[in-house]
Structure 1
């Protein structure tokens, strides 16, 4: 896999390391990026599921005439 080098603020990295419970900056950032991607995939799946269920739940009912 290709590698990319990015410069980030040290305080930001330390905060991520603490929140992730990881002692290596590279690993901490990788965890955050992987979590972000996974969350995006979960969101896409939920939206697709809701769209499918809303299509299935729609029933066409005949109009009743009152009068």
Structure 2
């Protein structure tokens, strides 16, 4: 079983999260939001790559407008 953490949250914020996720339990609602946030981050990383990966952009030349 994974470790659990208890976090205090403003009641209005908890209600908004519950409405957004369609859950009746604030714990479940916040967990869904956090999991979604993490998945979005992973998908973004997969699309743009690692920012430390300079080899992806090293071949790019700066834009030079056509002469004439």
TM-score of the superposed pair, with normalisation by structure 1: 0.71
Shift of 1:28: 0.2
Write 1 or 2 for the structure with the bigger share of helix.
1
Give the corresponding residue for 2:24: 23
Give the corresponding residue for 1:12: 13
Query: What are the ranges of 5 or more consecutive residues in structure 2 without an aligned counterpart?
Result: 60-68
Larger radius of gyration: 1
Shift of 1:22: 0.6
Distance 1:34 1:9 in 2: 20
Give the corresponding residue for 1:63: none
**Number of aligned residues:** 54
Give the corresponding residue for 2:42: 41
Query: What are the ranges of 5 or more consecutive residues in structure 1 without an aligned counterpart?
Result: 59-67
Moved over 2 A (4+): none
Distance 1:45 1:30 in 2: 23
